[in-house]
Structure 1
């Protein structure tokens, strides 16, 4: 199939730069990444990820963790499982 359709979008320059750096790390160029996204939209019949607005409890947890509050620090995986009582 011939690729002839053009997609134009305006994005923040820093976002573009950072996203393209990620694409390069995984071996994609921007066109391939956009094609992959469009393919997933088609296959999922919607966005290929959840889009949610955080509720008040989640926003509060984000703010607390940003301030370093309420974090549980673990030495290693075994320590984490112990603290999680698993």
Structure 2
């Protein structure tokens, strides 16, 4: 089995905390992420529930968004193009 390197960016403090916990489990970061990736592939889903605590995803806003989408589907409303803007940090990294 050929091995590949995967680089990810993670908050420094979160990385330290995760490494300590994984060490308590008797594994390193690579082993932990490999277990995660295998579970995702095997189950064909994220193996735990992901919930949104952001206000954007609250029930009231989601109802409003669904209503707006239905209006657009019926030809009532205006569509706008989305313009992507790079933040300063990602521009500095290039």
Q: TM-score, normalised by structure 2?
A: 0.54
Partner of 1:2: 2
User: Structure 2 unaligned runs (5+)?
Assistant: 59-94
> Structure 1, residues 19-48: CA drift from partner, whole Å, max 9, x if none?
000000000111101100100101110111
User: Structure 1 unaligned runs (5+)?
Assistant: 57-86
How well do the aligned residues superpose, as a CA RMSD in angstroms?
A: 1.9
Aligned length: 56
Large movers: runs of 4+ above 3 Å: none
